[in-house]
Amino acid sequence: MENVMIEINRIKKKLGKKEVLKGISLQLKPSVYGLAGANGAGKTTLLRILAGVMNADGGEIVMPEGSGQTGYLPQKFGCFPELTVYEQLEYFACLKKIPASCMESEILRALECVNLGGKEKMKCRKLSGGMVRRAGIAQALLGNPALLLLDEPTVGLDMEERKNFNRVVREMEGERTVLLSTHLAEDLKNLCQSVIILESGEVREVVPETYD
């Protein structure tokens, strides 16, 4: 259990009257995890809590000290239409406290990863839906976070981009903990080393690496 990177203990969350998460416990190692489950199963809620944009009602999340930052792509992601792609990423980079000296190279690298190289001067209002999604992935990648939380990253990506995304994720295998939610069996198969299946707020099954 040495390389346990993140430990989730009995996380609970109630939204309105509904108990969305009913005590989720998980141990995540540096690996790529797929998060699957029906609509409304609680995937987004779990990712939100892990990303720190929402507080859990109970339970705890333990991350080893100095485990670095978290990259997060929300299910709904957009940009300020008035900014350019570069400026928008710069904004994120500032928030992540990426030092000014390597900011530019870091942003360009992240854009390169999602095939948006050369589009940095484009106004966000002119981006297509898939491009916005990729910009979202790029912002999550900024600063090489140790934990990457991606909520349905492949939605809206064309075949080519999906392949590219697969490549990017593969490159991270073993180095980082990636938790991505998806509805696509193809993603689970191609990308994930393990699959966590949520059902009405509970972990139904964790399918280990042997899944194939």
Ligand X SMILES: Nc1ncnc2c1ncn2[C@@H]1O[C@H](COP(=O)(O)OP(=O)(O)OP(=O)(O)O)[C@@H](O)[C@H]1O
Helix extents (H) in the chain = 43-51, 85-95, 100-113, 129-141, 159-172, 185-191
Q: Which residues bind other proteins (CB under 8 A)?
A: 48, 51-53, 69-74, 76-83, 87-88, 90-92, 94-96, 136, 139-140, 149
> In terms of CB distance, is 70 or 84 closer to ligand X?
70
Q: How far is CA 114 from CA 15, 154, 163, 172, 204, in A?
A: 34, 12, 10, 14, 33
Question: Which of ligand X, other proteins, Mg ion, none sits in contact with 37, Cβ below 5 to 8 A by type?
Answer: ligand X
List phi, psi (to 5°) of 51: -75, -15
Complex with Mg ion: residue 69 or 75, whichever CB lies closer: 75
CB 20, min distance to other proteins, A: 16
By CB under 5 A, residue 182 contacts Mg ion:
no
E strand or H helix at 41: none
Cα Rg, the chain, nearest whole Å:
17
71-90 residues in contact with Mg ion (CB under 5 A) are 75
The smaller minimum CB distance to other proteins, of residues 179 and 197, is found at 179
Q: Is the dihedral of CA 42, 53, 131, 32 positive or negative?
A: negative
Binding site for ligand X (CB under 6 A): 15-16, 18, 20, 37, 39-45, 75
d(Cα 16, Cα 55) in Å, to the nearest integer?
Answer: 14
Q: Quick one: which of 8, 13, 37, 44 contacts Mg ion (CB under 5 A)?
A: 44
Question: Which residue in this structure is represented by tokens 């809590």?
Answer: 49
Taking CB within 5 to 8 Å according to partner kind, which of other proteins, Mg ion, ligand X, none is near residue 16? ligand X
Nearer to other proteins, 83 or 155 (CB): 83
Binding site for Mg ion (CB under 5 A): 43-44, 75
